[in-house]
Structure 1
């Protein structure tokens, strides 16, 4: 006889599913690798219109995006240091924006290449991707209004 009966096993799985259903937006924080923090901070502030807050954390140069405690979505930062390598490969972070066309225009004015033109994805709205000042792939999402 095992220490865990099949009844307890299914109860645990069921509880895990309920907890997952109750959880909202499980991603808590992201960090975008940069090579030149001043250039990247200027780029992101100009493209998105955010004011980023620069500080050193555990020996790494970071610039934090605005954060609203208790609001939906994840917090994030630009990060410079030996552990951070800009790349178009790997995870793609989507920024929720009110108008993709404005953000793409701002990015192009700052020398960005458009990697994926604005695309209508039906009821979910629109998406697009561009290359930031550091060589990272950045994605945009706009909800259909």
Structure 2
């Protein structure tokens, strides 16, 4: 994926099993846990391009969140803050070759950032 592409969409859920059944039946999504990411079932749409995860709902995560592929989280966060964004979650490692962060745009919308490759 290229810088600026939507790469992943997380959906907050309170019951992973119920949500997996709901989305797989409703949309035909393939949903499964991937080794190394237990407790975070990943979904893929029938087009084999769109995908994301079903993540536990929490106080700071109550609405679906899109993740944007970036060349550098550090540079993107710096540019975002200069443009009026807030950092909701600092850069964190997913795997040794991938990282994520969450910023809030000037209207408070949460936007996930993704850098690297998980090898999946």
Question: Normalised by the shorter chain, which TM-score bucket?
Answer: 0.3 to 0.5
Normalized per residue, the structure richer in helix is 1
When normalised by structure 1's length, the TM-score is 0.40
Whose radius of gyration is greater, 1 or 2? 1
TM score, norm. by length of structure 2: 0.48
When you count strand as a share of all residues, which structure comes out higher? 2
